[in-house]
């Protein structure tokens, strides 16, 4: 029986890594697109990048790093039988996701209030490089934001499974896979933050 469980565990892990690889290809394509246009419009990317608030970006980086720590410790807690601690840490991760999205809402709202959003008249009046920068910025951060919401929903579902003991100290592969997904969401942001908020300042 244990061999059968081990086989399922390996298959589940392999499937998850395969899925994460496709996600890396997706965002990797966006980062390559960014690099191509940065080399074409270096000065315009720098001037557009200065419009972004580094404090919003930095705050969200701290929030996601904290959330990744929570997820990592929650897996250790469950494996040691500390179910309540595991649930608390997963709840904390979901709170971090909410904080991240609230920050992103305020950041996007500030840009939209200034007329900077895809298809806006103000954006069309900007230099071509600046227009490209903001279009890629919205596409990349918007796609990442969707992943944050999906990740939070997956973690909430995992919490329900932990509560009902369907995920426990002896069978924790679902929690580990949920954690892997969340770490990917965090890792992608670690690339987004310097590309958009730091390098161009």
**Residue 9 banded pLDDT, cuts 50, 70, 90:** confident
130 in Cβ contact with 115 (< 8 Å): no
pLDDT, one tens digit per residue, over 60-93 is: 999 999 999 999 999 999 999 999 999 999 999 9
Distance CA 141, CA 39 (A): 21
All structural domains of the chain, each given as residue ranges with its CATH number in brackets, are: 2-198 (1.20.120.80)
Kindly state the tokens that stand for 92: 């904390």
| 1 has a pLDDT exceeding 80 | no
Q: Specify the pTM.
A: 0.92
């Amino acid at each position: 029986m244990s061999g059968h469980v081990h086989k399922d565990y390996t298959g589940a892990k392999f499937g998850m890594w395969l899925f994460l690889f496709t996600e890396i290809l997706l965002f990797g394509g966006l980062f390559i697109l960014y690099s191509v246009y940065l080399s074409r419009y270096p000065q315009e990317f720098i001037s557009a990048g200065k419009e972004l608030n580094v404090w919003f970006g930095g705050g969200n980086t701290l929030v996601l790093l904290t959330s990744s720590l929570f997820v990592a410790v929650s897996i250790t807690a469950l494996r040691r039988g500390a179910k309540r601690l595991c649930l608390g840490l997963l709840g904390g991760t979901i709170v971090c996701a909410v904080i991240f999205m609230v920050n992103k809402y305020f950041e996007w709202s500030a840009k939209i209030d200034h007329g900077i959003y895809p298809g806006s008249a103000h954006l069309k009046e900007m230099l071509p490089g600046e227009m490209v920068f903001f279009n890629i910025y919205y596409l990349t951060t918007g796609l990442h934001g969707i992943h944050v919401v999906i990740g939070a929903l997956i973690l909430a579902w995992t919490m329900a499974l932990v509560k009902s003991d369907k995920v426990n100290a002896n069978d924790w592969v679902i929690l580990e896979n949920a954690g892997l997904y969340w770490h990917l969401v965090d890792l992608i942001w670690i690339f987004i933050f310097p590309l958009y908020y730091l390098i161009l300042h």
